[in-house]
């Protein structure tokens, strides 16, 4: 349904452009962009007591267990009620820490009603050993009600350490394959058809199967929910950073069109002001998406034990690790010779009647598109360097 709405909206934008209805163009584009940034995503995390649910919630939010906003963790059951944990940078994305089904007085069919089944987009069922009867009953009830669920075997790093100590010829990939196969066959024996099982370390999401889980969700979610999840997940691989860049790049044409539409309104001097304000907002989105804001970098330093100053030292763009302001954007633009010349040409063209409105719109579209693309590229490169530094890799991009 979301896809059909987006197609309809795109057609409405094209029609408004063909009719030169600039105000309608701006209205439709703003509606599309608002939907992109406000689409709610509700993820249910459940499993038996002690399975690592809360730690997984914190990991997905890029938050250390010791952070004051983290979901409480411990060796005993710490989740007594359904508890929402909004993403620190994306409040439309909420992870819900659910009480373990084995710790409630509700049977599986009543459990879903108790936790508010309808609001969740999908369920992640976590176990730190094998999946048990309660996990299977819950999955069957979710399946009956037509929603997606995924099995996550947490604490896989602990399992590998134990296996390495007990085997003479330990091979990580072989051991992972055995564990994955054992989980899958065990679930099949309990009447779960084609179970999707992912092996994850809550403390090292860049290892093992987390990227496979993320790719699976990409395939099975609608466009806006897929993008909401993509931008919210931590940078656990260079591939995810590149996917974020591609998703953000796809929106630039809409911001550029919005800029051109504003230029078309004959109000001398308004374009540059509106463009700069727009650019400030969009660049702030880029900084958050790539985890280059100060709080995110501090959280990364806590999680990886890499000093904050070491992460900062590999950042080249002046737009990262600071507050994006109009003055900062103007200062950076002044250092970009060709882009600044385009903006200057746009303003000069207002004074030359032969150019007319269409030419001004073209200049505005081109300058906004080039500026945002340039900023996106530099921030994506910084995100790659920070990721590599956090993992102790060569930081050259």
- For 142-202, the three-class secondary structure string (H helix, E strand, C coil) is HHHCCCEEEEEECCHHHHHHHHHHHCCCCCHHHHHHHHHHHHHHHHHHCCCCCCCEEECCC
Domain, as residue range, for 332? 236-390
- Looking at the structure, do residues 214 and 240 belong to the same domain, yes or no? no
pLDDT higher than 70, residue 70: yes
> What confidence category does residue 346 fall into, taking pLDDT thresholds of 50, 70 and 90?
low
**pLDDT (0 to 100) of residue 1:** 42
- Looking at the structure, do residues 187 and 250 belong to the same domain, yes or no? no
**pLDDT (0 to 100) of residue 328:** 92
Q: 333 in a domain, yes or no?
A: yes
- Looking at the structure, do residues 333 and 347 belong to the same domain, yes or no? yes
- Looking at the structure, do residues 224 and 309 belong to the same domain, yes or no? no
Give the mean pLDDT of 303-327: 94
Among 29-38, 159-168, 367-376, the range with the most confident prediction by mean pLDDT is 367-376
pTM of the full structure: 0.84
**pLDDT (0 to 100) of residue 274:** 47
Q: 340 in a domain, yes or no?
A: yes
- Looking at the structure, do residues 124 and 240 belong to the same domain, yes or no? no
Give the mean pLDDT of 195-199: 94
Tell me the per-residue pLDDT of 161-179, one tens digit each, with 9 for 90 and over: 888 888 878 899 999 999 9
Domain boundary among 197, 232, 267: 232
Q: Which residue has the tokens 């010791």?
A: 66
> What confidence category does residue 51 fall into, taking pLDDT thresholds of 50, 70 and 90?
confident
**pLDDT (0 to 100) of residue 261:** 65
- Looking at the structure, do residues 57 and 160 belong to the same domain, yes or no? yes
**Residue pair 71/57 in contact by the 8 Å Cβ criterion:** yes
- Looking at the structure, do residues 104 and 209 belong to the same domain, yes or no? yes
pLDDT higher than 80, residue 299: yes
- Looking at the structure, do residues 140 and 56 belong to the same domain, yes or no? yes
Quick check: helix, strand or coil at residue 84? strand
- Looking at the structure, do residues 385 and 336 belong to the same domain, yes or no? yes
* DSSP code for 223: H
Rounded CA separation 192/148 (Å):
13
In this predicted model, which residue has the larger pLDDT, 52 or 49? 52
Domain boundary among 199, 232, 265: 232
Give the mean pLDDT of 225-245: 93
Number of domains in the chain: 2
pLDDT higher than 80, residue 215: yes
Average pLDDT, the chain: 83
**pLDDT (0 to 100) of residue 338:** 56
Domain boundary among 232, 254, 273: 232
Q: 10 in a domain, yes or no?
A: no
- Looking at the structure, do residues 206 and 298 belong to the same domain, yes or no? no
Instruction: Sort residue 45 into left (φ over 0), alpha (ψ -120 to 50) or beta.
Output: beta
Q: Which residue has the tokens 């060569």?
A: 394
390: enclosing H helix or E strand: helix 356-390
- Looking at the structure, do residues 251 and 150 belong to the same domain, yes or no? no
- Looking at the structure, do residues 175 and 62 belong to the same domain, yes or no? yes
pLDDT higher than 80, residue 351: no
């Amino acid at each position: 349904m979301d896809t059909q709405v987006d197609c309809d909206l795109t057609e409405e934008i094209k029609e408004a452009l063909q009719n030169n209805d600039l105000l309608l163009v701006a209205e439709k584009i703003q509606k599309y962009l608002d939907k992109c940034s406000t689409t709610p995503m509700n993820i249910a995390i459940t499993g038996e007591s002690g399975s690592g649910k809360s730690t997984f919630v914190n990991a997905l939010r890029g938050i250390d267990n010791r952070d004051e906003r983290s979901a409480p963790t411990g060796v005993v059951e710490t989740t007594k009620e359904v508890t929402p944990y909004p993403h620190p940078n994306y409040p439309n994305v909420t992870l819900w820490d659910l009480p373990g089904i084995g710790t409630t007085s509700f049977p599986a069919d009543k459990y879903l009603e108790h936790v508010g089944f309808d609001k969740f987009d999908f369920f992640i069922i976590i176990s730190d050993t094998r999946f048990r009867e309660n996990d299977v009953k819950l999955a069957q009830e979710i399946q009956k009600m037509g929603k997606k669920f995924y099995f996550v075997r947490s604490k896989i790093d602990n399992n590998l350490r134990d296996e390495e100590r007990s085997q003479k010829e330990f091979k990580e990939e072989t051991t992972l394959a055995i564990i994955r196969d054992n989980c899958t066959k065990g679930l099949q024996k309990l009447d779960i058809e084609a179970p999707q099982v992912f092996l994850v370390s809550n403390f090292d999401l860049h290892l093992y199967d987390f990227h496979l889980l993320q790719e699976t969700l990409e395939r099975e979610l609608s466009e806006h929910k897929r993008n909401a999840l993509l931008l919210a997940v931590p940078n656990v691989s260079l591939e995810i950073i590149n996917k974020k860049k591609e998703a953000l790049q796809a929106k630039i044409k809409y911001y550029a069109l919005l800029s051109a539409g504003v230029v078309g309104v004959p109000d001398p001097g308004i374009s540059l002001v509106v463009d700069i304000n727009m650019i400030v907002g969009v660049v702030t989105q880029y900084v958050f998406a790539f985890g280059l804001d100060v709080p995110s970098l501090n959280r990364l330093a806590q999680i990886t034990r890499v000093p904050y100053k070491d992460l900062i030292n590999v950042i080249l763009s002046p737009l990262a690790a600071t507050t994006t302001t109009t003055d900062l954007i103007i200062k950076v633009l002044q250092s970009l010779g060709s882009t600044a010349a385009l903006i200057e040409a746009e303003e000069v063209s207002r004074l030359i009647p032969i150019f007319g409105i269409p030419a001004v719109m073209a200049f505005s579209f081109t300058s906004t598109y080039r500026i945002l693309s340039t900023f996106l590229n530099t921030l994506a490169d910084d995100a790659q360097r920070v990721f590599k530094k956090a993992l102790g890799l060569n930081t050259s991009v």
